[in-house]
Structure 1
Amino acid sequence: MSAVAASALSQRFGMEVALDAVDLTVDTGEHLAVLGENGAGKTTLLRIIATAARPTSGKIAIFGLDASSERRRLRARIGYVAHTPGLYPALSAAENLEFFCALQGVDRGRVAEVLDLVGLGDVAGRPAGKLSRGAQQRLAIGRAVLHDPALLVLDEPDASLDSGGADLLARVMRDRTAVIATHDHALANRLCPRTMELRHGRVAGVPTRLRVVQ
């Protein structure tokens, strides 16, 4: 069974076409990088895969379940890092994760484990709003894996991360299906066996593996 199977996905905002008849299949356990310039449709596509948005037309199934009618069931299996961290700035790093533990029915004992995983164990008590942008991104990644999802959907997760960011992403993606949007071709090549490019809401060419010229 494919982890993601989409057919003729289109998304329109008024007269603007954000996605235009996109077909996509991601096998279980596969890592796919979605490349493209700003405005190419990457964020729109990832929001649909994460069940954060519904397409105007077309069909998408996640682990064999219809993504429109089974959103509640699917969200327990999806970890999503949006384009912005979306944290509660007045809550500490640990409290942010504890809040989402309560929402998702996850044991609070998982919080310390995840903070260590993303390299924030030493700042667990610091308000999220006082963390650096890179640390906030690490916390958002930690929140996405808190409930041990089968599918990670990561929208430019490398934004503001330090030099160890690629290693962190490799760790959290291991043993999971992952779809990642990025501008960084070298990062895509390192993390993902397959890439696809969007241009003006359409798939450009055949999904392939990047070759980075040193």
Structure 2
Amino acid sequence: MIEIKKLTKQADNKMILKGIDLSIRKGETVGILGPNGAGKSTLLKVLATLIKPSSGEVAIGGFDLKKNEGEIKKLFGYLPHSSLLYEHYSPLENLVFFGKIYGVKNAEERAVQLVKEVGLSFFLNDPVKNFSRGMIQRIAIARAIIHEPDILLLDEPHTGLDQGAIGILNNVIVEMREKGATTLMVTHDFKQAAELCDRIIIVKNGKIAEDFKLLDRKLSTLNEKYLYQVEGVS
């Protein structure tokens, strides 16, 4: 599904990504962990076509990133730190707008369904500018999956969420996986990573320090691997 070879990214004379090689299969749920400044979000932004790599090759869904950016954009749903929502629009207006951009048939029907799924039907027509952080993130989750993407790119998705919103997001990730979607999640929340991800990638200083299957789904296993790679603690 995603093939990355010798990927580099330089910004302001600093090399952020230093020759990333990575292969991710369809249907995998992958957690990307690492200290601040390691290059995690930069990697996600390259895959989301938001920034261009300095060198290397990236293929997503069989499409070359350099040649087929438009086709690649149709494949993924992206949930960054910002919601990407229009604050003067209601949830319904936001989701219908994004649905039509992606060519979703019956966009309004799909939007109403998603607002119900994220537990905000009562606020369907209220402007997003009046919403709490948790409510906004719920609608942002709906926005990211309005077109039922093949790939989910999530950048710190659990940050600032209440328990209800965390549960909704986790259900979305599980349901998307059951449909065969591939998920890449940058996170500092080890608990969520252990519960949701079947594979963990640890990034350090712009390189992949560790890439392993989390077969036992244990937080202790994840902590042990991370401390060894990042802190040098065995």
Shorter-chain TM range is over 0.9
For residues 8 and 207 of structure 1, the distance between their equivalents in structure 2, rounded to whole angstroms, comes to: 19
Q: CA deviation at 1:41?
A: 0.8
The reply on whether 1:156 has 2:156 as its aligned counterpart is yes
Could you report, residue by residue, the CA deviation over 1:89-142 in whole angstroms, capped at 9, with x for unpaired residues? 111111111111222222221110111122222211121111111111111111
The reply on whether 1:212 has 2:219 as its aligned counterpart is yes
Could you report, residue by residue, the CA deviation over 1:160-194 in whole angstroms, capped at 9, with x for unpaired residues? 11113343233222321100000011100111010
For residues 204 and 109 of structure 1, the distance between their equivalents in structure 2, rounded to whole angstroms, comes to: 45
For residues 13 and 93 of structure 2, the distance between their equivalents in structure 1, rounded to whole angstroms, comes to: 42
For residues 191 and 20 of structure 1, the distance between their equivalents in structure 2, rounded to whole angstroms, comes to: 28
Other structure's SS at 2:8 match: strand
Assess if the C-alpha contact under 8 Å between 2:38 and 2:203 holds in 1: yes
Assess if the C-alpha contact under 8 Å between 1:166 and 1:187 holds in 2: no
| Alignment match of 1:82 (pick from 61, 69, 80) | 80
Could you tell me which runs of 5 or more consecutive residues in structure 2 were left unpaired when the two chains were aligned.
222-234
TM-score (norm 1): 0.93
Quote the sequence identity (%).
Answer: 35
User: Which residue in 1 is equivalent to 2:119?
Assistant: 119
User: Which residue in 1 is equivalent to 2:141?
Assistant: 141
For residues 205 and 195 of structure 1, the distance between their equivalents in structure 2, rounded to whole angstroms, comes to: 8
For residues 92 and 5 of structure 2, the distance between their equivalents in structure 1, rounded to whole angstroms, comes to: 40
| Alignment match of 1:181 (pick from 186, 198, 222) | 186
1:12 corresponds to which letter in structure 2? Q
For residues 195 and 123 of structure 2, the distance between their equivalents in structure 1, rounded to whole angstroms, comes to: 29
User: Which residue in 1 is equivalent to 2:99?
Assistant: 101
Higher-Rg member (1/2): 2
User: Which residue in 2 is equivalent to 1:191?
Assistant: 196
Provide the alpha-carbon RMSD of the alignment. Answer: 1.6
Other structure's SS at 1:213 match: helix
Other structure's SS at 2:195 match: helix
Other structure's SS at 1:53 match: coil
Stretch deviating more after TM superposition (29-38 or 163-172): 163-172
User: Which residue in 2 is equivalent to 1:53?
Assistant: 51
Could you tell me which runs of 5 or more consecutive residues in structure 1 were left unpaired when the two chains were aligned.
none
Question: How many residue pairs were aligned?
Answer: 212
Could you report, residue by residue, the CA deviation over 1:13-53 in whole angstroms, capped at 9, with x for unpaired residues? 02111111111111101100001122111111111112222
Assess if the C-alpha contact under 8 Å between 2:199 and 2:211 holds in 1: no
For residues 128 and 166 of structure 1, the distance between their equivalents in structure 2, rounded to whole angstroms, comes to: 19
TM-score (norm 2): 0.85
For residues 206 and 158 of structure 1, the distance between their equivalents in structure 2, rounded to whole angstroms, comes to: 22
For residues 68 and 128 of structure 1, the distance between their equivalents in structure 2, rounded to whole angstroms, comes to: 35
User: Which residue in 1 is equivalent to 2:3?
Assistant: 5
Other structure's SS at 1:164 match: helix
Assess if the C-alpha contact under 8 Å between 2:98 and 2:143 holds in 1: yes
Q: Which has the higher helix share?
A: 2
